[in-house]
Structure 1
Amino acid sequence: MISQPAPESSRALLSEDAYQQIKDALNNFLLVPGDRFTETQLSEQLNVSRTPIRQALFRLQQEGFVEVLFRNGWRVLPLDFAKFDALYDFRILIETDAIQRLCDGRSSGRPPKSNIQLQALSEVWLAPKAKRLSEAHQVSQLDEAFHCAIVEAAGNPAIARTHREITEKIRVIRRLDFTRNPRIDTTYDEHAKILRAILNQRADQARMLIKAHIEVSQLEVRKITLHQLESARSRPRTSRELAEG
């Protein structure tokens, strides 16, 4: 019996799954700038055929993560610090505007304290110190969720979608920032201050705090070295990271 080709939907799912797994490897520093690899190697590691691997890699190439080498596989591209700098500037504009909308009540016509998303953030970031998480990967995910939730709570889906796209593009940099434990404690403290200012409708203070908070991360991006990337690759993996990678 002649085997039938996989349905288009199945091929698309395989390609999407390969894309997510390779991107997770990049974000979790299993692949770092300068690394070279072949489609065959990834095919064996992910246990899928080369076609979805190739489709995923071309997608990642369009996004600026990898490049194809002539007759020699693929390479992870160097970090584009100028691009990251511009994305951080864009983040500041979006998040400070979202805070202004929340404090003014423009998002829902209600005060911030009645906003369900902000109430959920309060349970995480205003919790006692004894309940704080200490695992870097988990806190980095909570950090992303905090900033995305503030923008989403402001009530403009188009702006929130753009903000999520920025978040995707800078994820690898933000996770590197959380390989240092002092940054975890600082993030909890700074998020708590930002959130309290929003809940009390102190727009100017909240805008100033979140701008300074993002700018600290922006400055750290400029200090990243290849040694830091290699150190992040070699650090022990959590079970969650291993599952994602």
Structure 2
Amino acid sequence: MQLTGAARTAKERPENLAERIYQQLKDDIFEFRLLPGDRFSEGEIAERMAVSRTPVRQALYRLQREDYLQVYFRSGWQVKPFDFAHFEELYEVRIVLELEAVRHLCERPQDEQSAALVQLERTWLVQPEQRLADGREVSRLDERFHCLLVEAAGNREMARLHAEISEKIRIIRRLDFTQSPRVAATYEEHGEILAAILARRCEEAQLLLRTHIEVSKAEVRKITLHMLHSARQRSMPAPEVAP
């Protein structure tokens, strides 16, 4: 006998239920179904997900601790508005970590090739007709490109810190890839960075990488409320048409 959605929820362990709600809300923020500045109540979330308020509250306070939400005790919850000064600080730390990772990679012997770099070659050093056009998928691959560069350097603490920063800036990086010229430019720039690393041209690779990230950071400054609402419209399923 199959359980209904409500029955499955009733059977679900409380900690698993809170985790599922947390992941769903986080996805809603990253996919622009919840926009910066949006307000809502615990009751609205509980009703939408057909759960009690207790696991919803646990998930919301976890997102608050991670700096995605803020709570107003008389008027519910709000997705935190963009703090561009904070994002720029995160970008600066990211640049430091990635430049150091490139230095480590370029200091290795020419014949020493990591599996991560091989994987990146297969993804980014491709012919124009083999490139992906879906901005959302290219955004995901772009984040993976930068994370793999740091992972390939071999310092686990650097990789951990870089992954945390990457998640915090993911939402604005995705907005950057709503524009097709940025998708094409990413392939070109990643290809140039990889070619310089593979040739062990450290200063060139670091300059290309810094410029690539600085351009992305500058594009983030151009994000407007219209772009946010457009992103939400693209994330919503098309309405059903009555027969």
Q: Which residue of 2 aligns with 1:243?
A: none
Structure 1: how far apart are the matches of 2:134 and 2:117? 23
Q: Which residue of 2 aligns with 1:48?
A: 51
Structure 2: how far apart are the matches of 1:96 and 1:227? 34
Aligned pairs for 1:188-203 within 5 A: 188-203=187-202
Structure 2: how far apart are the matches of 1:182 and 1:125? 16
Q: Which residue of 2 aligns with 1:135?
A: 134
- Render the CA deviation track for 1:87-128: whole Å, top value 9, x for unaligned: 0001110001000000001xxxx4376211100110000011
Aligned pairs for 1:67-86 within 5 A: 67-86=70-89
Higher relative contact order (CA 8 A, sep 6+): 1
77 and 112 in structure 1: CA distance in 2 versus 1, 3 angstrom threshold: farther
* Contact 2:33–2:236 under 8 Å retained in 1: no
Structure 1: how far apart are the matches of 2:222 and 2:112? 38
113 and 124 in structure 1: CA distance in 2 versus 1, 3 angstrom threshold: farther
- Render the CA deviation track for 1:35-78: whole Å, top value 9, x for unaligned: 11111221232333322211111111122211112232211121
Q: What is the alpha-carbon root mean square deviation over aligned residues?
A: 1.9
TM-score, with structure 1 as normaliser: 0.88
**Letter aligned with residue 90 of structure 1:** V
TM-score, with structure 2 as normaliser: 0.89
Q: Which residue of 2 aligns with 1:60?
A: 63
**Letter aligned with residue 53 of structure 2:** R
- Render the CA deviation track for 1:114-155: whole Å, top value 9, x for unaligned: 211100110000011111111111111000100000000000
Work out whether 1:154 is the aligned partner of 2:127.
Answer: no
Structure 1 runs (4+) greater than 3 angstroms displaced: 110-113, 236-239
112 and 127 in structure 1: CA distance in 2 versus 1, 3 angstrom threshold: farther
Percent of residue pairs identical:
51
Offset, 1:237: 5.1
* Contact 1:148–1:160 under 8 Å retained in 2: yes
* Contact 2:31–2:235 under 8 Å retained in 1: no
Consecutive unaligned residues of structure 2, counting only runs of 5 or more, are: 1-9, 239-243
Match of 2:23 among 20, 23, 43: 20
Consecutive unaligned residues of structure 1, counting only runs of 5 or more, are: 1-5, 240-245
Q: Which residue of 1 aligns with 2:5?
A: none
Structure 1: how far apart are the matches of 2:130 and 2:205? 24
Work out whether 1:38 is the aligned partner of 2:41.
Answer: yes
* Contact 1:112–1:201 under 8 Å retained in 2: no
Secondary structure of the 1:235 match is: helix
- Render the CA deviation track for 1:13-34: whole Å, top value 9, x for unaligned: 2222211111111111111112
Q: Which residue of 2 aligns with 1:3?
A: none
Match of 2:94 among 86, 91, 94: 91
**Letter aligned with residue 224 of structure 2:** T
Please identify, of 161-170 and 12-21, the stretch whose mean Cα deviation from structure 2 is larger: 12-21
Structure 2: how far apart are the matches of 1:111 and 1:54? 53
Secondary structure of the 1:64 match is: coil
**Letter aligned with residue 22 of structure 1:** L
**Letter aligned with residue 75 of structure 1:** Q
Offset, 1:236: 5.3
Tell me how many residue pairs correspond in the alignment: 229
